[in-house]
Amino acid sequence: KPRLLDDEEGGVLFLSSSFSSSSSGYGYASIERQRQRLPVYKYRTSILYLVESHATSIVVGETGSGKTTQIPQYLKEAGWADGGRVIACTQPRRLAVQAVASRVAEEMGVKVGEEVGYTIRFEDISNPDATRIKFLTDGVLLREMMDDPLLTKYSVIMVDEAHERSISTDILLGLLKKIQKRRPQLRLLISSATIEAKAMSDFFQSSKRRQVSEGEELRPRLEPAILSVEGRGFNVQIHYVEDPVQDYVQAAVSTVLLIHDQEPAGDILVFLTGQDDIDVAVKMLTEEARSNGKNSSGLIILPLYSGLSRAEQDLVFSPTPKGKRKVVISTNIAETSLTLEGIVYVVDSGFSKQRFYNPISDIENLVVAPISKASARQRAGRAGRLRPGKCYRLYTEEYFVNEMSAQGIPEIQRSNLVSCVIQLKALGIDNILGFDWPASPSPESMIRALEVLYSLGVLDDDAKLTSPVGFQVAEIPLEPMISKMILASNELGCSEEIITIAAVLSIQSIWFSGRGVQKELDEAKLRFAAAEGDHVTFLNIYKGFLQSGKSSQWCHRNFINYHAMKKVMEIREQLKRIALRLGIVLKSCERDMQSVRKAVTAGFFANACRLEAFSHSGMYKTIRGSQEVYIHPSSVLFRVNPRWVIYHSLVSTDRQYMRNVISIDSSWLTEAAPHFYQQQQQQLNPIIH
Ligand code: ADP
Ligand code: MG
């Protein structure tokens, strides 16, 4: 088993590489040796040559081959960070940014935030004077473009995990291609596990025709180079279920217990979809382990999803003690973004949470949906890093062969584009439909986004950003609807309250995740519940937290997540700074919750719903698209069912559920968005259909 090296060397964690030629690979390899064993190491010279001589290089390599952790270091060693320049490496996921930055800092023997730093939204652990390798989310890099459109401080930008085709990655690629025309010295390195490398290469190829100018010979070649890093893991035996499973959480739990019972040592990685089903599985397994005594002892059961505390993350990455077996139950973050050591068995539910957007109904939600064959192969591959492994697919072989799609759909083709459009507009890209996308979004989604932004007062009749509202909304690093709500709170005299609400809405949940404490959690919620809805409930909780002296015991007693509350405080401070910069006066409306509700309406009027008359089942219809929706059981308005509500987001399981709901007065809708709604004979109608 991997273990800690002696303390004399600083207690650095040395894990031997699974790619080592000697099978007794676990040893006290120096960190240098370890780096040299990674498959990318053989390609070090080639990679550096490609970056030197090509404007864009594409590196394709198996997960775990060392792309993310090694290439930025190679670039630095080769001098790309000299003279105050910075090497950037983007990731679609925040958790991956943090984990990778701390790993690279550890390998380089430096502190995170100095030579190696990272930036995610609301958390900047970098030092402009010292940081030479910077990990950041692709979204943050997009934001940096607003201040520095040519990203002049970066010498090389590595766009990592490009195969994920996250919406920000695609926007970023389109923009970087433009930047390169203006700043040919900039090098791009696109890296991914399973890219359709050819498609990416074609995308960058089409920038070939351009003006020839002086100094041409100094310029790198423009056609992209593709490099494939060999280094497959070991064989993975695939097992399918014979009949489709009814409940994949239950099936996953049973499979883990079976593996633990029958298979030799080796850790297990389970792919479920999100915090909710992962928490359920953790609880079920923990209970099994307890009641089963002997059989399931020795299991260390850990969840892995974004929003975990630092300590919880560290547990996932720390080596498994001898005689124990680690079970990590993860979202698809462990599919390619993160490498866990010691995994020999993979259990694949066949599902992940995916964003889907319907431009007709203008509804975007997160749906548990089947993964693609490409994802299924990636997931299976996680089992073969250490030695030959096994993958248990909780779906039939027939299903895999005949029903699973080959590739996923790029996120930009299944998302609401409001944030995307405003960002491009803020960067001066006016012809959004004509923008050079790696994958084009649908014109319907574009038009929907333009309509909403127009109604928010962010765009004018010529689809240009309005001044000041449009520019201000673009400046706030939040969804445009939240930003608009903050701006409206200034006029309504409730900016203190709205900033608190915005901070709470920016994190996943402030409640303690309910592992078998549903009843207590519900009771705790009642203590804070406000008749107006969830947003006002957040204000009560925040007030209680402050009055307790920000006490962790108080949080514990009330089933509130203390770390989440601390995060809310941090985000709130940052939003306050941004608000002040935008000239917003910080003011509290004290008990006037009507102002707060009106401010929410000013941002989220498009999410208004009406309770169906005579509906005893609590069925609402969206005003805009007449879609059936229900209040989520986690909302304080569940079963209260006020006539008019506005929701913050939708989740879809058996039904479409509204999360974070506030009651409103219908007259506020026409007031807040006269372009959007009109009052006709006591009936409120959307103008735009
Ligand atoms: P890639 O980006 O190609 O998927 P990485 O650079 O992320 O690969 O990982 C290379 C190797 O570094 C992994 O095989 C693993 O051995 C090691 N590694 C990466 N992250 C960690 C970590 N947080 N803890 C321990 N080892 C790690
Ligand atoms: Mg990687």
pLDDT of residue 434: 87
**Nearest in space to 239 (alpha carbons), one of 390, 403, 404:** 390
Ligand 1: centre distance to CA 373 (Å):
24
pLDDT of residue 287: 87
Closest ligand 1 atom to Cα of 19: 14
Cβ pair 318, 106 in contact under 8 A: no
Ligand 1: centre distance to CA 12 (Å):
15
Element (H, E) at 58: strand 56-61
Closest ligand 1 atom to Cα of 337: 4
**Nearest in space to 634 (alpha carbons), one of 499, 501, 529:** 529
pLDDT of residue 400: 96
pLDDT of residue 225: 83
**Nearest in space to 514 (alpha carbons), one of 336, 278, 333, 315:** 278
Closest ligand 1 atom to Cα of 338: 7
- Which ligand places an atom closest to the C-alpha of 160? 2
Give the integer Cα–Cα distance in Å for 199 and 142. 22
Residue nearest to atom 10 of ligand 1 (CA): 66
pLDDT of residue 245: 94
Ligand 1: centre distance to CA 383 (Å):
14
Residue nearest to atom 16 of ligand 1 (CA): 17
Closest ligand 1 atom to Cα of 62: 3
Q: Which of 17, 103, 304 to mutate to test the pocket of ligand 1 (most atoms within 8 A of CB)?
A: 103
pLDDT of residue 680: 57
The answer for residues whose C-beta is within 8 angstroms of residue 619's C-beta and 6 or more apart is 611, 612, 628, 629, 630
Give the integer Cα–Cα distance in Å for 146 and 138. 13
Work out the angle at residue 222's Cα, subtended by the Cα atoms of residues 221 and 225, and round it to the nearest 5 degrees. 80
Mean pLDDT in order along the chain per 10 residues (689 residues): 26 28 46 89 94 93 92 98 97 94 96 97 95 97 95 97 92 94 94 75 67 53 81 87 95 95 95 92 88 73 87 88 94 91 95 90 86 94 91 96 92 93 92 88 91 93 93 94 96 97 92 73 91 97 97 94 93 96 95 97 95 85 91 93 94 89 95 80 62
Ligand 2: centre distance to CA 67 (Å):
6
The token pair that represents 199 in the structure block: 């498609």
Residue nearest to atom 23 of ligand 1 (CA): 103
> What is the DSSP-derived secondary structure letter of residue 397?
H
- Which ligand places an atom closest to the C-alpha of 104? 1
Residue nearest to atom 5 of ligand 1 (CA): 66
Residues with CB under 6 A from ligand 1: 15, 17, 38, 61, 63-70, 99, 103, 317, 339, 341
Closest ligand 1 atom to Cα of 385: 14
Closest ligand 1 atom to Cα of 34: 16
Enumerate long-range contacts of 623-626, CB under 8 Å, 24 or more apart. Answer: 623/669, 623/677, 623/684, 623/685, 623/686, 624/361, 624/362, 624/686, 624/688, 625/360, 625/361, 625/362, 625/363, 625/686
Name the phi and psi angles at 51, rounded to 5: -65, -40
Ligand 2: centre distance to CA 451 (Å):
38
pLDDT of residue 218: 55
pLDDT of residue 313: 85
Return the amino acid letter for 88. Answer: A
pLDDT of residue 196: 66
Ligand 1: centre distance to CA 35 (Å):
10
Residue nearest to atom 14 of ligand 1 (CA): 64
Ligand 2: centre distance to CA 178 (Å):
25
- Which ligand places an atom closest to the C-alpha of 99? 1
- Cis peptide, bond prior to residue 39, ω within 30 of zero: no
Bridge partner residues of 136 (DSSP): 90, 119
- Which ligand places an atom closest to the C-alpha of 93? 2
- Which ligand places an atom closest to the C-alpha of 341? 1
The owner of tokens 């139950």 is 329
Bridge partner residues of 326 (DSSP): 300
Ligand 1: centre distance to CA 313 (Å):
15
- Which ligand places an atom closest to the C-alpha of 159? 2
> What is the DSSP-derived secondary structure letter of residue 511?
B
Residue nearest to atom 19 of ligand 1 (CA): 339
Cβ pair 99, 168 in contact under 8 A: no
Ligand 2: centre distance to CA 571 (Å):
28
In terms of DSSP H, where are the helices of 297-417? 310-317, 333-336, 373-381, 397-402
pTM of structure = 0.88
pLDDT of residue 296: 60
pLDDT of residue 515: 57
In angstroms, what CA-CA distances link 148 with 117, 145, 152, 420, 611? 19, 5, 7, 18, 47
Bridge partner residues of 640 (DSSP): none
In angstroms, what CA-CA distances link 214 with 38, 211, 524? 41, 10, 70
pLDDT of residue 20: 34
The answer for residues whose C-beta is within 8 angstroms of residue 337's C-beta and 6 or more apart is 91, 92, 93, 95, 96, 161, 164
Q: Which of 15, 32, 69 to mutate to test the pocket of ligand 1 (most atoms within 8 A of CB)?
A: 69
- Which ligand places an atom closest to the C-alpha of 37? 1
Cβ pair 460, 466 in contact under 8 A: yes
Ligand 2: centre distance to CA 63 (Å):
6
Ligand 2: centre distance to CA 62 (Å):
9
What is the number of alpha carbons within 13 Å of residue 485 lying toward its C-beta?
29
Name the phi and psi angles at 436, rounded to 5: -85, 90
Mutual angle of helices 167-182 and 138-147, in 10-degree steps: 40
Ligand 1: centre distance to CA 339 (Å):
5
